[in-house]
Amino acid sequence: TMQHIFKEIFKAGIELIEDDHRKALLVSRKKKPENTVVQIDGEAIGREKKTIIAGPCAVESFEQVEAVAIALKSQGLSIMRGGAFKPRTSPYDFQGLGFEGLKILRAVADKHDMKVVTEIVNPAHVEEALNYIDVIQIGARNMQNFELLKEVGSQKKPVLLKRGLSATIQEFIYAAEYIMSQGNGNIILCERGIRTYEKATRNTLDITAVPILKKETHLPVLVDVTHSTGRKDLLLPAAKAALAIEADGIMVEVHPDPAVALSDAMQQLNIPEFEHFMNSLKSSRLLAAD
Amino acid sequence: TMQHIFKEIFKAGIELIEDDHRKALLVSRKKKPENTVVQIDGEAIGREKKTIIAGPCAVESFEQVEAVAIALKSQGLSIMRGGAFKPRTSPYDFQGLGFEGLKILRAVADKHDMKVVTEIVNPAHVEEALNYIDVIQIGARNMQNFELLKEVGSQKKPVLLKRGLSATIQEFIYAAEYIMSQGNGNIILCERGIRTYEKATRNTLDITAVPILKKETHLPVLVDVTHSTGRKDLLLPAAKAALAIEADGIMVEVHPDPAVALSDAMQQLNIPEFEHFMNSLKSSRLLAAD
Amino acid sequence: TMQHIFKEIFKAGIELIEDDHRKALLVSRKKKPENTVVQIDGEAIGREKKTIIAGPCAVESFEQVEAVAIALKSQGLSIMRGGAFKPRTSPYDFQGLGFEGLKILRAVADKHDMKVVTEIVNPAHVEEALNYIDVIQIGARNMQNFELLKEVGSQKKPVLLKRGLSATIQEFIYAAEYIMSQGNGNIILCERGIRTYEKATRNTLDITAVPILKKETHLPVLVDVTHSTGRKDLLLPAAKAALAIEADGIMVEVHPDPAVALSDAMQQLNIPEFEHFMNSLKSSRLLAAD
Amino acid sequence: TMQHIFKEIFKAGIELIEDDHRKALLVSRKKKPENTVVQIDGEAIGREKKTIIAGPCAVESFEQVEAVAIALKSQGLSIMRGGAFKPRTSPYDFQGLGFEGLKILRAVADKHDMKVVTEIVNPAHVEEALNYIDVIQIGARNMQNFELLKEVGSQKKPVLLKRGLSATIQEFIYAAEYIMSQGNGNIILCERGIRTYEKATRNTLDITAVPILKKETHLPVLVDVTHSTGRKDLLLPAAKAALAIEADGIMVEVHPDPAVALSDAMQQLNIPEFEHFMNSLKSSRLLAAD
């Protein structure tokens, strides 16, 4: 067993190096103890005031997006989400409007003085997309699309990075590091549920990922209550839990008429439901740092 | 495809029956719309006022249990947990003091006017255990030990039923039904994390199980923050999330000297940590219904 | 980091002890390098010749069991399974015939010179059950019902221990150790699929658990192809894989008329299907050690 | 409940459409009952003769690749794998030699009359890569990188598509459909283990995915024994199980000196181990269709 101890000392050496490695991560709180606040053209994510990002699953038309924008605005929100490039399980499902969708988002946002978050899926689209959007979203299916991560890391707009379908927290942190190592530290992390055996919800919201991510990194952390639960009746409870555990904000899907939505019909709030959602959060005292 | 439609009509018929079945569950909210409030000798679980149940993982001595009891009492708590029959992965780990442990729990509880929750693992022990304890806990490993469920269902003391290591919510509800179908409706459900691929935490706290269980059943629902996270630094965040999502209470492990504890040494709070935990919850405004 | 190295040396010390612990496990191959062969009244499990154990999910009547026994016998099999105490998710599902079922199994077995494997679920039933059965099965839901493990460990009949629904291999080995530490080393391990996110099969057959268990322990290892897949069309492929990876045998469910079976109707073979299954295995050259 | 039945009839209608959809999948066996045989410049995958694809995790140098090529050749193999674009969890891990690596692979392959399989990770690289490689591999992390799938679907070289880290079989089939819907039906599926709670292996080999994929699609199916197990001691058992369950072949990593490999050091076979692996498979009678 003397041999064993020497093996362990050797192993300890390796772990020390690994530890140094992790310490050296640019996204690590060991590297930068204070919180990163991501600025989106005047809006800050990561301050005491919580951020709600809402909008339709997919951009379908100017009218649809504008109806949502007006609803958001009237609730005091200024960041809108909406998908133009939709990564869908089947090639025969609606794939989004592409750049046409980005233009709609921009036009509505400009008209109503809002900011736009939208997913980009191809490294070759990033440069052109920057003309239209304020925050680049990396979706769950692309969390380890390292080519895309490097591409969005080498420009300056903020990136909203979603946790992969079954990514570990460690892998999630390394994905953020891919972006930051290219020079872009404007990263917002987003927990969106993980894949487990439980089928009562679409995914299992890993709520304690929020404090772990905030302890391990200096980045702001949102919770996507729509994709983590996949159930309208759980959006408000999940949002309350997320805010209580000190997430920096919430993402939620809103559509003027979910029944005819081209994707995610069952899990998007309609506008009155969204107003109820917002009012409930406001009265819960969990939202604001007044 | 006419044939297919008839098949579907047939299937619809089957589902209708299944649905009736589920509707017929005694634990279902369809059967009893109002909340069940479990009375533990004057203490109520399931009212607006939240319940905190705390205590050591394992009963080790009168002195150890009493030190915890005094700490609980001084925080205004009156229900203490503590294990005397310990289901341990290895047969060579500490298996608990058995009935000796129950006697210690009772003696401390009587001296300090408290109630006692403790796990029973053998149907043959239930009757004798009733002399010493106020709430019978069914542990995660025994959630589908149906013989034990039937036994605790055929007496009258409240039962705290923990979700199995990888039980679905549906299976959890049926396990409660095993108890209630024998005549005992004094059941408290307890979410305690599920087994997933993620290893940053001991288990993954399935936080949205709380609103689902409260919607599907009329039973009170607690969250065990110790076993779901397995990390001291996550106990307080997890408790806040649980209360915000409207769990009826929290279970947490406290030990006078965790470093020498005979089990769960790394995840039990010491007494000053417990006081900090309680004070933080109190000041969060999530605890009480004032 | 000098401090760190000392911490590691300390940790190495702990691991050494743990390692010794594991080495000391009675079921470990480090403790006993040669294979354990379990003798069931003249039938050996764990020899070069593979074992097929078949029979209905649940004992329903003498006629039903006898029809299966005759089919088994005509294929050269001598060990029959059949459930009399059925652990069912819902309390309203058929719970088995209990001791009446054991008597039917014994009567059929005696008449046709066969051996009987059946599940026992309550420690208090073990003693009486020994009058009727040749192998005690511990089901997946009871793999960590330690009271039951200790009870079957303190008698001498062979025990067939199924892996828990989401037990790790390590936990499975420790469950076997609970039995052997009480004095009974006649243990047969049975892989029966684990719970994962994939729903194309009832469980996910963890096929590499077989060589791991055979490397870590000296016990024979079977594969239950029925519960691991839950699909008739996968029984034969799964059995071939199991034999190729050197499992000591296979468990499979057979029922004279699956459509009217009181449980597991969809996944039991009828008798002609069973004959086809056996003939295919025989002609695959994977079964026998000729 | 009349209302319910009409709801069900409506639902049945929807399912009929879905069913038609699935029937219409180009990769489906319903669409094309006979097996697809993928031709790689004279080598066929999907015939009775099984295919073994082997090679280093990462291309490091001409000498390294050539040493492996010679070993493969002497075992009668003609398809070599080797990574030049390496998707690594950390941005600080070795990322592969890129196009330099492709050139090495091509040079070695031409010299020894072999075919080359290698992973491409960026849609923009596909066209250039076609100059050097015979089969384009889509790695697990990119199984739902739909932009990449469409790109490889719109050219003619065979594509080896690996199952995602926690993809369902359904999602895997749809990913193949993304490729085939663009016009390229030369697709080889590869099961490589799924992410589960069990940590005794790197992933859990989902062995019954093989017969399911072969039943649902007309495509050949390989098993990557290296990434599914992550353990050298399980490569041979896993390969035997895969062949017995009628996979069309095996992928395995081989490196002239694994200890100094720039990635996957612990799980690659060295050349004598590879020879032992091949000889054992050959003598198992599972490999060839003689």
pLDDT in tens, D224-247: 999 999 999 999 999 999 999 999
Looking at residue B3, what is its pLDDT?
Answer: 56
Cβ pairs bridging B and C (under 8 Å):
67
User: What are the CA-CA distances from residue B244 to residues A53, A267, B208 (Å)?
Assistant: 20, 22, 11
Looking at residue C130, what is its pLDDT?
Answer: 97
Cβ neighbours of D5 in B, within 8 Å: 9, 12-13, 16
CA distance D164 to chain A (A): 10
Residue B14 has pLDDT above 60, yes or no: no
Looking at residue D262, what is its pLDDT?
Answer: 84
pLDDT in tens, C1-28: 555 555 566 556 556 555 655 568 999 9
pLDDT in tens, C28-84: 999 999 999 999 988 999 999 999 999 999 999 999 999 999 999 999 999 999 999
| A174 close contact with D: CB closer than 8 A | yes
CB contact at 8 A, D205 and C205: no
Q: Which of B255-264, C95-104, C244-253 has the lowest mean pLDDT?
A: B255-264
Distance CA D10, CA C290 (A): 58
Looking at residue C290, what is its pLDDT?
Answer: 43
Cβ burial of A229 (10 Å; 0-12, 13-18, 19+) is: buried
Looking at residue D263, what is its pLDDT?
Answer: 81
Q: Please tell me which residue, A11 or B29, carries the higher pLDDT value.
A: B29
| A99 close contact with D: CB closer than 8 A | no
Distance CA C222, CA C230 (A): 17
Average pLDDT estimate for B35-54: 95
Residue A2 has pLDDT above 60, yes or no: no
Distance CA B8, CA C76 (A): 42
CA distance D164 to chain B (A): 15
Q: For chain D, which chains pass the contact test of at least 3 CB pairs under 8 Å? A: A, B, C
| C170 close contact with D: CB closer than 8 A | yes
Looking at residue D290, what is its pLDDT?
Answer: 43
Beta carbons of C145 and B146 less than 8 Å apart: no
Q: Give the CA angle between residues B63, B83, C26 to the nearest 5°.
A: 115
Q: Compare CB distances from A121 to D92, D147, D165 and report the shortest one's residue.
A: D147
Cβ neighbours of A173 in D, within 8 Å: none
In A, minimum Cα distance to D121 occurs at A147
In A, minimum Cα distance to C7 occurs at A12
Cβ neighbours of C150 in B, within 8 Å: 91
Which secondary-structure segment (H or E) carries B2? helix B2-23
pLDDT in tens, C171-220: 999 999 999 999 999 999 999 999 999 999 999 999 999 999 999 999 99
Looking at residue C17, what is its pLDDT?
Answer: 55
CB contact at 8 A, C212 and C229: no
CA distance D132 to chain C (A): 36
User: What are the CA-CA distances from residue C198 to residues A288, B131, C201, C221, D223 (Å)?
Assistant: 40, 46, 7, 24, 17
Q: How many CA atoms lie within 13 A of D202 on its CB side?
A: 18
Looking at residue A260, what is its pLDDT?
Answer: 86
Interface of C with D in 193-222 (CB under 8 A): 194, 196-201, 204-212, 215
Cβ neighbours of A12 in C, within 8 Å: 4-5, 8-9, 11-12
Q: How many CA atoms lie within 13 A of C45 on its CB side?
A: 32
Q: Residue B209: which residues within 8 A CB-CB, separation 6 or more?
A: A198, A200, B163, B169, B172, B191, B221
Rounded to two decimals, the ipTM of the complex is 0.93
Looking at residue C54, what is its pLDDT?
Answer: 98
Residue D92 has pLDDT above 80, yes or no: yes
Cβ burial of B99 (10 Å; 0-12, 13-18, 19+) is: middle
Cβ neighbours of C123 in B, within 8 Å: 122-124
How much is the mean pLDDT over chain B? 93
% pLDDT > 70, chain B? 91
Average pLDDT estimate for A97-108: 98
Looking at residue A84, what is its pLDDT?
Answer: 97
| A91 close contact with D: CB closer than 8 A | yes
Q: Residue D15: which pLDDT band, with cuts at 50, 70 and 90?
A: low
- Per DSSP, the residues of A145-200 read -HHHHHHHHTS-S-EEEEPPTT--HHHHHHHHHHHHTTT---EEEEE--B--S--S
pLDDT in tens, B169-204: 999 999 999 999 999 999 999 999 999 999 999 999
% pLDDT > 90, chain B? 86
| C73 close contact with B: CB closer than 8 A | no
CA distance C276 to chain D (A): 17
Residue C242 has pLDDT above 90, yes or no: yes
pLDDT in tens, B203-243: 999 999 999 999 999 999 999 999 999 999 999 999 999 99
Closest CA to D4 of C287, B217, B11, A54: B11
In A, minimum Cα distance to B287 occurs at A244
Distance CA A234, CA A231 (A): 6
Phi, psi for residue B260 in degrees, rounded to 5: -105, 10
Cβ neighbours of C195 in A, within 8 Å: 197
Beta carbons of D122 and A147 less than 8 Å apart: yes
% pLDDT > 90, chain C? 86
CA distance B285 to chain C (A): 37
Looking at residue C13, what is its pLDDT?
Answer: 57
Average pLDDT estimate for D234-263: 95
Q: Residue B290: which pLDDT band, with cuts at 50, 70 and 90?
A: very low
Beta carbons of B9 and D4 less than 8 Å apart: no
pLDDT in tens, A3-52: 555 556 655 655 655 565 556 899 999 999 999 999 998 899 999 999 99
Cβ pairs bridging B and D (under 8 Å):
39
Q: Please tell me which residue, A262 or D173, carries the higher pLDDT value.
A: D173
Q: Is the dihedral of CA D15, D20, D26, D31 positive or negative?
A: positive
Closest CA to D243 of D49, D39, D71: D49
Distance CA D100, CA D149 (A): 23
What is chain B's length?
A: 290
pLDDT in tens, A132-149: 999 999 999 999 999 999
